[in-house]
Amino acid sequence: MTPVNERRPAGSRIWHAAVAAAVLVFLLLPLLVTFLFSISTEWEDTILPQGYTFDSYIRLFGDERFLYALGRSFLVASMTVAFSLLIMVPTVFVVALYVPRLEKWLQTVVLVPFALPGVVAAVGLIKLYSAPPFAISGTIWILIGAYFILVLPYVYQSTRNSLRAVNAAELMEAAEVLGASKTAAFIRVILPNIMPGVIVASLLSFSIVFGEFVLANMLVGGSFEVVQVYLYHMMGVDGRLSSATIVTFFALVLVLYAFVLKIGNRKPRAGTPSVQGKEETV
Amino acid sequence: MAGRSSSRHQVTLLLLLLPFFLWLFAFLLLPGILMLVSSFQNEGGQGFTLGQYVKGLTHPLYTGAIRNSVLLSLVSAFVGLVAAAFAAYSFTTFSPKTRDRMLSLSNMMTNFAGVPLAFGFIILFGTNGMLTLLFKQLGLSFLAFDLYSWKGLAWVYIYFQIPVGILLIYPSLFAIRQEWREAASLLGAGTVQFWLRIGVPVLLPGLVGTFSVLFANAMGAYATAYALVTSNFNLLPIKIGGLVSGDVFPRVELGSALAVILFVILAIALFINEKMLRLARRGLSHDSR
């Protein structure tokens, strides 16, 4: 579909601009005021702050507790993404090409996390892992275990779409005809080709894990304090630090999304049924 | 695929899939089974009883929580869907570059949920919130609302539904062709008539599907309501969280039963979405022929 804006009457164009602007402003407003709050000196009973300063950011990045929380969040997010890719990319590849009868089942399984809000998932995990023989509750391992499931739909979908878009079956056949072993073909041919999709999935998963609160709070809480749990504890104590934490978190999300956009634009988006080729410039 | 089914080949495949199966078993299947078993046990984790379900479905505290959650989810899913549909359709009328930017911005805001969202809304609509004060000063006090009331919570929920709704409804909007609008207007139909008679019916499966995902999204939401600490909302996820890991002595069995009830409600909502997606896809493929 080509948007035929020129054909629209002026009244309709103004209406659509107004609707889009109103919704986007509404969506951005809480973030903007959080930013404003983080750089305000005093903001008690006036509409706008009485003065501005970056003091809260200096304090935040001087706060050891915050830096540790940030480090833990990075650690748990990177390890989740690493385990997820290491296990899921080969799994999706093997199922798609060599065990197609499992495909339908896998598609259904990866959707289960959508019906499983954190609070429900936490119930069984707490029950299973807070007593011996697997007492890993309160450690990073239970978080990684649970987050792997949480990001499953995104990693699966992205990998599956990429495999389809690059026509993995044909690539494998071609590589094998040329004498490559299956392993070599997978590593040297398939992996580089599906990399953009895999990176997008990693970045999305990273931002999801970074923003997750419920499991982090219920499964490990204070014994492995991540950024979101730090934020929750700070909320009632120090509003400035909390707002600076939120803005920092969102700056990270912004960077991750910028990467996703860049990668998404460079190659034809995975999943769109289009022929890959250099000449495809829209 | 390769046609070779030597046993060594089979063993390699199995070994490659094994880590995934183990992970699934350890962090999805086994916890799920334990939760299910626990929901049929007495307090203390003994015997077999339907008592937890009976309590969950009859005790006013828990039926209240279920009712509140369902109501809040229905309202926020409906208002969120309407706002998202209007916004997403407006996005599609811009040039590809602009609309992609608008869409990514909106997609990014799906991350503004949970604790940060609660905080942002407190600065905006709290007792000394920016907009609360602004409305007062402009003499528009009727626009201000108590953030810690149900109405306030509904606004917060509507907020986080909108970007998710836009994300989901956006692709299906491309089924509406500008030519149809022109044809309809040539035949004398106004904008309202076009949407009522053609637009909404064409989009219906997509709208219903998105509605059910948004409903599920709100039913399971916990962090935002939990972070608005000053008020204790009686919502199903909050009740489950409190029963399982609350400061008061935990009652895991009852929490498990409520969690199973919540899971079943969500599974039904998402099942409806699956059916609707299939319907929408069938509609589209007929259309392209």
ipTM: 0.86
Which chain A positions have a beta carbon within 8 Å of B106's beta carbon? 23-24, 27
Give the number of beta-carbon pairs within 8 Å between A and B: 242
Which residues of chain A from 150 to 209 reach within 8 Å of chain B, CB to CB?
A: 169, 207
**Structural domain boundaries in chain A:** 10-53, 64-264
Q: Is A123 on the interface with B (CB under 8 A)?
A: yes
* pLDDT band at residue B283 under the 50/70/90 scheme: low
Binary contact (A117, B102; C-beta < 8 A): no
CB distance B164 to B139 below 8 Å: no
3-state secondary structure of A52: strand
User: B122-151 pLDDT, tens per residue?
Assistant: 999 888 888 888 888 888 877 778 888 888
Yes or no, beta carbons of A31 and B259 under 8 Å apart: no
* Interface test mutation site (partner A, options B79, B119, B202, max chain A beta carbons within 10 A): B119
Q: How far is B193 from chain A (nearest CA, A)?
A: 15
Nearest to B231 by CA among B153, B148, B156, B147: B148
What's the N-to-C CA distance of chain A in angstroms? Answer: 13
Which of B5, B27, B35 best tests the A interface by mutation, with the highest count of A CBs <10 A?
B27
pLDDT at B61: 92
CA distance B95 to chain A (A): 6
CB contact under 8 A, B220 and A118: yes
Our CA-based measurement puts residue B66 at a distance from the nearest CA of chain A, in whole angstroms, of 14
CA B205 to CA B208: how far, in whole Å? Answer: 5
User: Does residue B117 surpass a pLDDT of 90?
Assistant: yes
Tell me how far apart the alpha carbons of residues A123 and B244 are, in angstroms, rounded to a whole number: 6
Closest CA to B253 of B37, B67, B62: B37
Q: Which of A79, A101, A119 to mutate: most B Cβ within 10 Å?
A: A119
- Measure CB to CB from residue A7 to each of B124, B178, B221 and give the nearest one: B178
| Partner-chain contact A127 B38, CB within 8 Å | yes
The CA–CA distances, whole Å, from B36 to A145, B50, B52, B56, B271 equal 20, 12, 11, 14, 20
**B230 CB-contact burial (10 Å; exposed 0-12 / middle 13-18 / buried 19+):** exposed
CATH number at A64-264:
1.10.3720.10
- Residue type (1 letter), B134: L
pLDDT of residue A275: 36
Q: Identify all chain B residues contacting A23, using CB atoms and an 8 Å cutoff.
A: 83, 86-87, 90, 106, 162, 166
d(CA B261, CA B71): 16
* Domain residue limits, chain B: 1-39, 51-288
The candidate with the shortest Cα–Cα distance to A165, out of A272, A267, A260, is A272
Q: Do A91 and B16 touch (CB under 8 A)?
A: yes
Chain B residue closest to A146 (CA)? B27
The predicted model gives B147-156 an average pLDDT of 90
pLDDT for residue A271 is more than 60: no
Quick one: chain B helix, strand, coil %, rounded to 5? 80, 0, 20
The encoded tokens of residue B221 equal 């939401």
Enter the tokens of residue A238: 């120090």
What is the C-alpha to C-alpha distance for residues B13 and B4, in angstroms, rounded to an integer? 12
CATH classification number, B51-288, choose in 3.30.9.10, 1.20.1050.10, 3.40.50.300, 1.10.3720.10: 1.10.3720.10
Task: Give me the pLDDT at residue A270, please.
Answer: 45
Between chains, do A4 and B35 touch, taking CB under 8 Å as contact?
no
3-state secondary structure B180-214: HHHHHHHCCCCHHHHHHHHHHHHHHHHHHHHHHHH
Cα–Cα dist B217/B157, whole Å = 10
A136 touches chain B (CB under 8 A): no
Give pLDDT, residue B1: 45
Tell me what pLDDT residue B230 has.
57
pLDDT surpasses 80 at A3: no
Please tell me the predicted confidence (pLDDT) of residue B5.
Answer: 52
Tell if the CB–CB gap between A214 and B38 is shorter than 8 Å: no
pLDDT surpasses 70 at A131: yes
Q: Is the Cβ–Cβ distance between B258 and B243 less than 8 Å?
A: yes
Residue with tokens 């990429």: A162
- pLDDT band at A58; cut points 50, 70, 90: very high
Residue B223: which of A17, A128, A214 has the nearest Cβ? A214
pLDDT at residue A23 above 50? yes
CB contact under 8 A, A253 and B111: yes
Q: Which residues contact A165 (CB under 8 A, 6 or more apart)?
A: A197, A268, A270, A271, A272, A274, A276
Contacts of A261 in chain B (CB under 8 A): 104
Q: In angstroms, what separates the C-alpha of A113 from chain B's closest C-alpha?
A: 9
The arithmetic mean of pLDDT across residues B203-232, rounded, is 86
Given this model, what pLDDT does residue B171 score?
Answer: 84
Question: Which CA distances in Å does A129 have to A126, A149, A256?
Answer: 5, 16, 32
- The angle formed by the CA atoms of residues A250, B118 and B100, to the nearest 5 degrees, is 45
Query: Residues A13-35: what's their mean pLDDT?
Result: 94
Report A:61-120 residues touching B (Cβ under 8 A).
Answer: 87-88, 90-91, 94-95, 97-100, 102, 109, 111-112, 114-120
Residue A4 has pLDDT above 60, yes or no: no
CA distance A90 to A163: 11
Residues of chain B with Cβ-Cβ distance to A12 below 8 Å are: 93, 191
Longest CA span, chain A: 74
The rounded distance, in Å, linking the Cα atoms of B182 and B174 is 16
- Among B18, B66, B90, pick the best mutation site for testing chain A contact (most A Cβ within 10 A): B90
CB atoms closer than 10 angstroms to residue B33: 13
User: Do B259 and A119 make contact, defined as CB atoms within 8 angstroms?
Assistant: yes
Contact check, Cβ <8 Å, B93/A88: no
Considering only alpha carbons, which residue of chain A is nearest residue B83?
A23
Q: Is the CB of A29 inside 8 Å of chain B's CB atoms?
A: yes
The pLDDT of A88-111, averaged and rounded, is: 92
Residue A281 banded pLDDT, cuts 50, 70, 90? very low
pLDDT tens per residue, range B28-74: 999 999 999 999 998 877 889 999 999 999 999 999 999 999 999 99
Which pLDDT tens digit goes with each residue over A199-245?
989 999 999 999 999 999 999 988 999 999 999 999 989 989 999 99
Chain A residues with CB under 8 Å of B128 CB are 44-45
The phi-psi region of residue B44 (left if phi > 0; otherwise alpha if psi is between -120 and 50; otherwise beta) is left
10 Å Cβ neighbour count for A87? 21
**Mean pLDDT, residues B178-202 taken together:** 82
More confident residue, A213 or B229: A213
Confidence at residue A278, expressed as pLDDT on a 0 to 100 scale: 33
The answer to whether residue A145 neighbours chain B at the CB level (below 8 Å) is yes
In B, which residues are within 8 Å of A80 by CB distance? none
Helical spans, DSSP H, in chain A: 10-38, 55-62, 64-98, 103-109, 118-129, 140-165, 168-177, 182-185, 191-211, 214-215, 227-235, 239-266
Supply the pLDDT for residue B231. Answer: 58
Residue B248 has pLDDT above 60, yes or no: yes
